[in-house]
Amino acid sequence: MGLVKTEIFTEQQNEIALFAKVFGHPARVAILQHLFKINACICGDLVQEIGLAQPTISQHLKELKQLGLIQGNVEGTSVCYCIHTENWIKMKKIMFQFLDQDSPEKDCC
């Protein structure tokens, strides 16, 4: 085990879980917040900013990129990472829909 049984869930449930999972690490939260703040960033900055080793940051960036939430453009020897605005908005809609379910008037029981 240690293996999620994705096949028994809906596509929507798996998608929500995938997005949530990538936000489930403070380093990735911090990376995204930094990218939003300065709106353009090279990986080196992030290593300074966050305080994890360069390979670790690189790995977190890869996960964010795989989900399409950020994009990276090579620029000389450095790489410029930034938010993929269009995909971010798509993700936001999906997550909002999940988080913003109507709360029942009062808790049961």
Binding site for its own copies (CB under 8 A): 4-6, 8-10, 13-14, 16-18, 20-30, 32-33, 36, 39-40, 50-52, 71, 73, 75, 80, 82-85, 88-89, 91-92, 95-96, 98-104, 106-109
- Say how far apart CA 29 and CA 23 lie, in whole Å: 6
Q: Measured from the CB atom, is 4 or 89 closer to DNA?
A: 4
At position 54, the amino acid (one-letter code) is Q
b (16+ CB within 10 A) / e for 88-102: beebeeeeeeeeeee
Among 72, 82, 87, 95, binds DNA (CB under 7 A): 72
